[in-house]
Structure 1
Amino acid sequence: MTSSELNSAANLHFPDKTDWLQKLALSSLGLGLLLIFISGFQAKGEVNFMVTGIALALVALLTYFFRTYLKTQPGVRINGIWLRSSTSRGLIAWVTGVFLTGFYVVLYWWPGLMTGLIRSIDPLSYFIRGIEADRWFLYGTFYTLAVVIMGVRALFKYRHSTYHIIRTLSVMFFQLVLAYLIPYFLILFNQPEFYPSYFWPLKYDYLFPGTVDYLIKTPGALGVFFVFWTAVISLIGVPVLTYFFGKRWYCSWVCGCGGLAETAGDPYRHLSDKSRKAWQWEVAIIYPVLGFIILTTLLLWVNSVTGGGILGGLSNGFSQTYGFFIGSIFSGVIGVGFYPIMGSRVWCRFGCPMAAYLGILQKHFSRFRITTNGGQCISCGNCSNYCEMGIDVRWYAQQGQPIIRSSCVGCGMCATVCPRGVLNLENGPRQDRFQPTAFISSENVRILK
């Protein structure tokens, strides 16, 4: 069968149900994006075009989401995701991926090309921070808008699940308030810029001696509190919370990287590679990244204590190397730019040191697991297909085995798309973690029905 015949067959089974209001909303979105694009052509920016474009785009997206999801009954529908060009690595997906990747490349290495866009949001920057905008403020603003507006989409899409409603509201809150407003308000009041929702080793420099020294010497008590907060949460809070709730408390509820993946990246979650080779690459990359940042932190402290007499500039070289290859290229360019091609959790799965740290704790010390009821499984494959971390959930379900994987972020989507209620996210006694479902204690606390 030719490609044209396949497309014709696909259209017969999945006809275009876009109505006039949805088409009007998408047209308005295109106009809004055009106005945003035009605002960047002038060296001094064009505030009116930027404001109008953002407002028009937001209204258009809200209208489209409202119409798309509320004209159908509640429930997750994944029909046709492998037949759409935008979600099956087709032409639209590649164009989107090239655009996102190009945006990050220009942002990091040719920010002068974005001068017009940056100047267009100066009024907002002066209002929130008291200073003119820069490329990172532009990026933070667009990033936060993406999490919030696509979070609204997730609220519509998963409105039948209380768990996902609360989880989505959580990532929206932490990104908007703790990762956007609070850091910039701190600058407004002449305090150090600090992101309280990011911890070491993800925010790797927060425990570097230079950052610690800078924060401690900051006038007032806030700097000392920030150092205390980072150390306590990173070294004590993370293990304790992970013991009780698994890595999901952070990766799926708090982290900004996970927040973008769960909202803007949701249409691409099924693209994650489920092969054993991908799992081998995951193990081969993510743990060395964690080891690299631990080694870098230790070397910097040794250098600091010895006054640089032992290692000289070697430790700084480690830090700069990590910041360039991991902090910029991996987490930014690849981590987000490759959403439409490799799925929404490329960075979280293959490169994030925080995910590696949490994963070790989850697999060996946590009470968290996903239990399965193999007798009810019909092998539909929805759970594996929808797993953004590339876990073959169906295999565990068929065997009736609990899922205890270091890579699992506990998003709960596998349980949500299961038509038979085979999967449950649970926190139970540690001695029962690896037992088949039939032997799990009735004392377990089920937190996802």
Structure 2
Amino acid sequence: MAFDANLTLPRPPVPDTTATEKTLLTVVGLGLLALLTVAFDADAGRARLSFWAGVLLLSAGTLGWAWYTFGRQPAGVLQDNLWLRASSSRGAVAWLTAVVLTGFYVVLYWFSNDNGQGNFGPLNQLIHALDPFSQWLRHKPSDQWFLYGTFYTLAVLLMGGRALWKYRHSPYQRIRTASVMFFQLGFAFLLPGLLLAFQRPEYYFSYFWPLKYDYLFPGTVSYLLKDGGPALGVFMVFWGAAMSFVGTPILTYFFGKRWYCSWVCGCGGLAETAGDPYRHLSDKSRAAWRWEVRIIYTVLVLIVALTALLWLGASGAVPALQAVTEPLSKAYGFAIGSVFSGVIGVGFYPLMGARVWCRFGCPMAAYLGLLQKHFSRFRITTNGAQCISCGNCSNVCEMGIDVKQYAQRGEPIIRASCVGCGMCSTACPRGVLNLENGPTEGRYQGSQLIHADSLRILS
């Protein structure tokens, strides 16, 4: 506790919230309250008005608060008081946020199925408030997944705006943030909706197997070829297979897994924007790393085996498999696709950090990580002579890597889990860490890693 030399009275460790900040946060709160009232309003017209009023208040308050908090201060990574605030130190506010997020996912996944009757349970009014927008974009009424996609995209855009203010001094962070905002809005929200409007399959061109696991399942391939049309359907199947087995290895060789996990993927996009206030909560212990390795590669093996079994069963070579593979795919979809990636992956942001799913469960991250560690030119080089052991780099790493230990020894960071977000480099006050693409020869030889033809990306 710090003391004032003149008054000898203790000063609070966390600065008082200004009147302007309180006003902006109140606007955010009113927006959330307006959205909450929609769920209990039986009048469709009034509910729709409350919905868009809530979205407007929430957007204005969030962007205004982001500008007031970060835009008026000197540029730089501001990590002050994170462990002193209840919202970012697993305090009461963090637990409340986790409960609300988890509860929303549970209701969305398992209590909002309309069964073809147009009633979506607890979220019914919220979902139908989007009917005009859904009809305009997709030419069909809204459903629980359209509500989810709208909220998801809104979160990425609003918190992406916050990230642009917060990290405006770093060209790399600005481009990376703009990239995930673009891919979420364009490829994961608008384009799938337009495909439905033209009576084509709802397809996400920015998601690939094994993350979008069913895209290479026999049933999905048949559906795409049938309903997608002779040209588009074939292209969808070709695109998914080519990106999984050709595009991914090539791009990872040149850029590491960051080309996807930090620039394209919607899961990573939400983590890097909405999850940014919680990045310091990732466990850096050796025990956490052991669990990470055990779980994430198990999930990868499971989806590879399941995909192979589904194709084997569909071929008719082993007729008995057809009765087994369908329950297995449903079990995987429930346990991994819903509980792990959704409920835990997002609901636990305020408690375990923003990359829980990416770090412990995502099979795409495991696949990319193996390519990055053993075949990629990407690495983070360090200069131990300049490291002052401040720990900023480790604090901002949401993948649980104790970056400081590498920096102190001047060792390159070539880890399967690293998503190349570059936050460690951005947060370093001495320029010790640099993201580079270079020849694989000599990649484990410390200072000899810097070659003349390396691409050096400064933060």
The TM-score normalised by the length of structure 2 is 0.94
1:138 is aligned to: 147
Name whichever of 33-42 and 399-408 sits farther off.
33-42
1:182 is aligned to: 191
Question: 1:353-412 CA deviation, whole Å, 9 max, x = no partner?
Answer: 000000000000000000000000011111111100000100001111000000000000
Identity %: 62
Name whichever of 255-264 and 58-67 sits farther off.
58-67
CA distance in 2 between partners of 1:210 and 1:341 (Å):
38
CA distance in 1 between partners of 2:132 and 2:274 (Å):
26
The yes-or-no answer on 1:170 pairing with 2:171 is no
Point out 4+ residue stretches in structure 1 off by more than 6 angstroms: none
The yes-or-no answer on 1:51 pairing with 2:52 is yes
2:163 is aligned to: 154
- RMSD of aligned Cα (Å): 1.6
Q: Pairwise mapping of residues 224-235 of structure 1 onto structure 2 (< 5 A)? A: 224-235=234-245
2:96 is aligned to: 95
Query: Any stretches of 5+ residues in structure 1 without a counterpart?
Result: 2-8
Query: Any stretches of 5+ residues in structure 2 without a counterpart?
Result: 2-8, 113-120
Q: Secondary structure at the match of 1:403?
A: coil
1:421 is aligned to: 431
Cα 1:288–1:439 shift into 2, 3 Å: closer
CA distance in 2 between partners of 1:43 and 1:325 (Å):
34
Name whichever of 70-79 and 244-253 sits farther off.
70-79
Contact 2:314 2:322 in 1 (8 A): no
1:42 is aligned to: 41
Q: Pairwise mapping of residues 186-197 of structure 1 onto structure 2 (< 5 A)? A: 186-197=195-206
CA apart distance, 1:29: 1.3
CA apart distance, 1:10: 9.1
Contact 2:403 2:424 in 1 (8 A): yes
**Which of the residues 332, 337, 342 maps onto 2:342?**
332
Q: Secondary structure at the match of 2:202?
A: coil
CA apart distance, 1:43: 4.5
CA apart distance, 1:440: 3.2
1:75 is aligned to: 76
CA distance in 1 between partners of 2:271 and 2:423 (Å):
13
Question: 1:166-187 CA deviation, whole Å, 9 max, x = no partner?
Answer: 0000000000000000001100
Cα 1:318–1:57 shift into 2, 3 Å: same
2:327 is aligned to: 317
Contact 1:40 1:115 in 2 (8 A): yes
Q: Secondary structure at the match of 1:311?
A: helix
Q: Pairwise mapping of residues 48-447 of structure 1 onto structure 2 (< 5 A)? A: 48-111=49-112, 112-218=121-227, 219-306=229-316, 309-438=319-448, 440-447=450-457
CA distance in 2 between partners of 1:55 and 1:307 (Å):
57
Q: Secondary structure at the match of 1:424?
A: strand
2:118 is aligned to: none
Q: Secondary structure at the match of 1:139?
A: helix
Contact 1:155 1:168 in 2 (8 A): yes
CA distance in 2 between partners of 1:376 and 1:254 (Å):
33
Name the count of aligned residue pairs.
442
Contact 1:97 1:341 in 2 (8 A): yes
The TM-score normalised by the length of structure 1 is 0.96
Opposite residue 290 of structure 2, the aligned amino acid is Q
CA distance in 1 between partners of 2:58 and 2:266 (Å):
22
CA distance in 1 between partners of 2:108 and 2:226 (Å):
31
Cα 1:208–1:10 shift into 2, 3 Å: farther
Name whichever of 397-406 and 313-322 sits farther off.
313-322
Contact 2:310 2:322 in 1 (8 A): no
Contact 2:183 2:206 in 1 (8 A): yes
Contact 1:282 1:350 in 2 (8 A): yes
Question: 1:38-78 CA deviation, whole Å, 9 max, x = no partner?
Answer: 11113564101101111111111111111111221111111
2:23 is aligned to: 24
Opposite residue 376 of structure 1, the aligned amino acid is Q
Contact 2:381 2:449 in 1 (8 A): no
Contact 2:442 2:448 in 1 (8 A): no
Contact 1:372 1:401 in 2 (8 A): yes
